[in-house]
Chain A
Amino acid sequence: MPDQAKPVRGRLVVEPALCHACQSCMVACSLVHEGEVIPSKARLQVTIDPFKGNHTIRYCHQCRNAPCARACPNHAISQAEAGHWQVDESLCDGCGACAEACPFHTLTVIGVALKCDTCHGDPACVASCPSGGLTWRISSR
Chain B
Amino acid sequence: MEDLQQMKTRTAPWVGQILHIDLSSGAVSTLPTLPYAEQYLGGRGLAARLAWDMLPPGVKAFDPGNVLFFMPGCLVGTPAPSAGRVTICGLSPQGYPDEWYTRSNLGGQWGPELKFAGYDGLVVTGKAPQPVCIQIEDDRVEIRDAAGLWGRGLVETQKLLNEQLGEGWRTLAIGPAGENLVRYAIVATNTESAAGQGGFGAVMGSKNLKAIAVRGHGGVPVANPREALRRSRLVVERILERYNYHPTSERRPDVPYDDKRRRAPCTYQCPRSCGGFYEGLPGAAFPDRTYDGHWHCCSPVWAGAAWMHADKGKPGLQGGFEITQISNDLGINHWEFAFGMGPWFGAMLDRGEQVLLDGEPVAMGDTAWWIALLEKISYRRGVGDVLAEGCPRAAGILGMGEDLIGQFYPGWGQASHWDGHGSFGGPYWPFWLVTSLQWAMDTRDPMGGGHDYTINIFGPASNEVKGGVLDPDARRRWLAMGEHLYGSADAVDPLSSYGGKAHASIVHQDAGGIKDSLGLCDNTFPMLTDPKAEDFIQRVDGVEGRHFEHYLFEPTSDLSISREDFYRIGTRIYTLERMIAHRNWNRDRSTDETIIPYLMRESQSVNPAVGQKIEVDEVRFRAMMDEYYGLRGWDVQTGRPLPETLKDLGMDKL
A binding-site residues for B, Cβ under 8 Å: 17-24, 27-28, 30-32, 34-41, 47-48, 50-54, 124, 127-128, 130-131, 133
B593, CB-defined interface residue at 8 Å: no
Q: Establish whether residues A127 and B219, one from each chain, have CB atoms under 8 Å apart when the complex forms.
A: no
Interface string of B78-120 (1 = CB under 8 A from A): 1101000000000000000000000000001100100010000
B425, CB-defined interface residue at 8 Å: no
A32 cross-chain contacts in B, Cβ below 8 A: 225-226, 229
Given A22-B269, A28-B79, A128-B79, A37:B240 Cβ within 8 A:
no
Assembly CA distance A82 to B81 (angstroms): 31
Of all chain A residues, the one with the shortest Cβ separation from B246 is A131
A-B contacts, 11 listed (Cβ < 8 Å): A24-B271, A31-B225, A31-B228, A40-B116, A50-B190, A51-B190, A52-B279, A128-B79, A130-B239, A131-B247, A131-B273
Q: Establish whether residues B116 and A22, one from each chain, have CB atoms under 8 Å apart when the complex forms.
A: no
A52 cross-chain contacts in B, Cβ below 8 A: 279, 292
B426, CB-defined interface residue at 8 Å: no
Assembly CA distance A131 to B121 (angstroms): 31
Cβ of B263 to closest chain A Cβ, rounded Å: 6
Assembly CA distance A53 to B278 (angstroms): 8
Assembly CA distance A17 to B167 (angstroms): 22
A127 cross-chain contacts in B, Cβ below 8 A: 229, 233
B292 cross-chain contacts in A, Cβ below 8 A: 51-53
Cβ of A130 to closest chain B Cβ, rounded Å: 3
Q: Establish whether residues A24 and B269, one from each chain, have CB atoms under 8 Å apart when the complex forms.
A: yes
Q: Establish whether residues A23 and B268, one from each chain, have CB atoms under 8 Å apart when the complex forms.
A: yes
Given A40-B217, A53-B277, A53-B294, A21:B264 Cβ within 8 A:
yes
Given A24-B269, A127-B233, A17:B222 Cβ within 8 A:
no
A133 cross-chain contacts in B, Cβ below 8 A: 247
B232, CB-defined interface residue at 8 Å: yes
Q: Establish whether residues B218 and A31, one from each chain, have CB atoms under 8 Å apart when the complex forms.
A: no
Assembly CA distance A51 to B325 (angstroms): 11
Q: Establish whether residues B270 and A48, one from each chain, have CB atoms under 8 Å apart when the complex forms.
A: no
| CB-CB contacts below 8 Å: B265-323 with A | 265, 268-271, 273, 277-279, 292-294
| Most chain B beta-carbon neighbours within 10 Å: one of A19, A23, A24 | A24
A22 cross-chain contacts in B, Cβ below 8 A: 265, 268-271, 273
B174, CB-defined interface residue at 8 Å: no
B159 cross-chain contacts in A, Cβ below 8 A: 51
A30 cross-chain contacts in B, Cβ below 8 A: 219
Assembly CA distance A39 to B220 (angstroms): 10
Given A28-B79, A32-B225, A37-B79, A53:B279 Cβ within 8 A:
yes
- Among A24, A34, A38, A53, which residue has its beta carbon within 8 angstroms of that of B116? A38
- Among A17, A36, A54, which residue has its beta carbon within 8 angstroms of that of B219? A36
- Among A20, A27, A37, A124, which residue has its beta carbon within 8 angstroms of that of B247? A20
Of all chain B residues, the one with the shortest Cβ separation from A28 is B229
A41 cross-chain contacts in B, Cβ below 8 A: 219
Of all chain A residues, the one with the shortest Cβ separation from B170 is A50
Cβ of B357 to closest chain A Cβ, rounded Å: 32
Of all chain A residues, the one with the shortest Cβ separation from B276 is A53
For the complex with contacts A51-B162, A130-B236, A131-B271, 4 further pairs of A-B residues with Cβ separation under 8 Å are A22-B265, A23-B109, A127-B229, A131-B246
Assembly CA distance A34 to B218 (angstroms): 11
Q: Establish whether residues A24 and B219, one from each chain, have CB atoms under 8 Å apart when the complex forms.
A: no
Cβ of A57 to closest chain B Cβ, rounded Å: 13
B binding-site residues for A, Cβ under 8 Å: 77-79, 81, 108-109, 112, 116, 155, 158-159, 162, 167-168, 189-191, 216-222, 225-226, 228-229, 232-233, 236, 239-240, 246-248, 262-265, 268-271, 273, 277-279, 292-294
Given A27-B79, A51-B158, A131-B247, A124:B229 Cβ within 8 A:
yes
A21 cross-chain contacts in B, Cβ below 8 A: 264-265
A37 cross-chain contacts in B, Cβ below 8 A: 77-79, 116, 219-220, 222
Q: Establish whether residues A38 and B247, one from each chain, have CB atoms under 8 Å apart when the complex forms.
A: no
Assembly CA distance A23 to B232 (angstroms): 14
Of all chain B residues, the one with the shortest Cβ separation from A19 is B247
B108 cross-chain contacts in A, Cβ below 8 A: 50
Given A36-B219, A52-B279, A128-B79, A20:B225 Cβ within 8 A:
no
Cβ of B72 to closest chain A Cβ, rounded Å: 13
Of all chain A residues, the one with the shortest Cβ separation from B229 is A28
Of all chain A residues, the one with the shortest Cβ separation from B271 is A130
Cβ of B118 to closest chain A Cβ, rounded Å: 12
Q: Establish whether residues B220 and A128, one from each chain, have CB atoms under 8 Å apart when the complex forms.
A: no
Cβ of B268 to closest chain A Cβ, rounded Å: 6
Cβ of B109 to closest chain A Cβ, rounded Å: 7
Assembly CA distance A30 to B168 (angstroms): 16
- Among B225, B232, B264, which residue has its beta carbon within 8 angstroms of that of A53? B264
B262 cross-chain contacts in A, Cβ below 8 A: 20, 53
Assembly CA distance A32 to B225 (angstroms): 7
Assembly CA distance A127 to B225 (angstroms): 14
In the A-B complex, the 8 residue pairs with the closest CB atoms: A53-B277, A36-B219, A130-B271, A38-B219, A50-B190, A20-B247, A37-B220, A31-B225
| Most chain B beta-carbon neighbours within 10 Å: one of A39, A41, A54 | A39
Assembly CA distance A127 to B230 (angstroms): 9
Q: Establish whether residues B268 and A20, one from each chain, have CB atoms under 8 Å apart when the complex forms.
A: no
Of all chain A residues, the one with the shortest Cβ separation from B270 is A22
Given A28-B79, A31-B229, A39-B116, A23:B269 Cβ within 8 A:
yes
Assembly CA distance A110 to B277 (angstroms): 34
Assembly CA distance A131 to B167 (angstroms): 25
Cβ of B200 to closest chain A Cβ, rounded Å: 20
Assembly CA distance A124 to B225 (angstroms): 11
Of all chain A residues, the one with the shortest Cβ separation from B228 is A31
Of all chain A residues, the one with the shortest Cβ separation from B225 is A31
B222 cross-chain contacts in A, Cβ below 8 A: 31, 35-37
B268 cross-chain contacts in A, Cβ below 8 A: 22-23
Of all chain B residues, the one with the shortest Cβ separation from A124 is B229
| Most chain A beta-carbon neighbours within 10 Å: one of B77, B168, B225 | B225
Assembly CA distance A41 to B158 (angstroms): 25
B216 cross-chain contacts in A, Cβ below 8 A: 40
Given A31-B225, A34-B219, A39-B116, A47:B79 Cβ within 8 A:
no
B168 cross-chain contacts in A, Cβ below 8 A: 40, 47
A40 cross-chain contacts in B, Cβ below 8 A: 116, 168, 216-217
Of all chain B residues, the one with the shortest Cβ separation from A133 is B247
Given A22-B269, A28-B79, A31-B228, A47:B158 Cβ within 8 A:
no
Assembly CA distance A128 to B226 (angstroms): 11
A128 cross-chain contacts in B, Cβ below 8 A: 79, 229, 232-233
Assembly CA distance A51 to B188 (angstroms): 13
Q: Establish whether residues A51 and B225, one from each chain, have CB atoms under 8 Å apart when the complex forms.
A: no
